[in-house]
Amino acid sequence: MSPLVAFLIVLATVAAMELVAWSSHKYVMHGFGWAWHRDHHEPHDHALEKNDLYALVGAAISIAMFALGSPMVMGDAAWTPGTWIGLGVLIYGVIYTLIHDGLVHQRYFRWVPRRGYAKRLVQAHKLHHATIGKEGGVSFGFVVARDPAILKRELREQRARGVAVLRETAD
C-alpha cells in the first residue's frame, strides 16, 4: 500500500470518527448507555467517571483494527488497511482527550479560550451540559461545534416542546 493511500485512510478515519462519536454520544450514551454516561453530566469529585469506560471501548476498537492489520497476529489473513484505520481511531482518541477532557472539562490543564474555535468548542459543549437528564440536548459532537446562538435557540425550542429540562444557568 502506498504511503499516500495509508495517509488518506488515516485522515478519512479521523473524520469518520467524529460522525461515529456524534451518533454514539446521541444514541448510545444518551440512550441505552446512559448508566455509564450519567455521572459525566452530574457534579462529582472523583478523578474518574464511569463515562471513561467509553474511552476503553474506543481503545479496544483501535487495538482490534491494529490486530486485523498485523501479519504477526493475522498471518496471511492480515488486512493492511486495518493498521491505518486503527491509527486513525487512535489519533481521534488523542484529539478527543485533549479537546473534551482537557480543554472543555479541564481535567488535565487549565486554559479558558477567549476567542476563536476553541472558545466555540467550549461554549457548544457547555450548552450540551445545559440539560438535566438524558433527554433533549444539543451539540453531541466533540470536535465539530456549531454556532452557540443556534444551539441556544434549539435548547429553548426543546424546553418549549417539553423535550428537555434545562439547568437554571442554561438561559
Angle at 97 between CA 96 and CA 100, to 5 degrees: 70
**Residue from 135, 116, 112 nearest 126 by CA:** 112
Whole-structure pTM over 0.75, yes or no?
yes
pLDDT digits (tens, 9 = 90+) for 27-47: 999 999 999 999 999 988 888
DSSP string spanning 129-143? TTEESSSS-S---SS
Query: One-letter amino acid identity for 167?
Result: R
Q: Domain spans of the chain?
A: 1-111, 112-171
pLDDT tens profile 67-114: 999 999 999 999 999 999 999 999 999 999 999 999 999 999 899 999
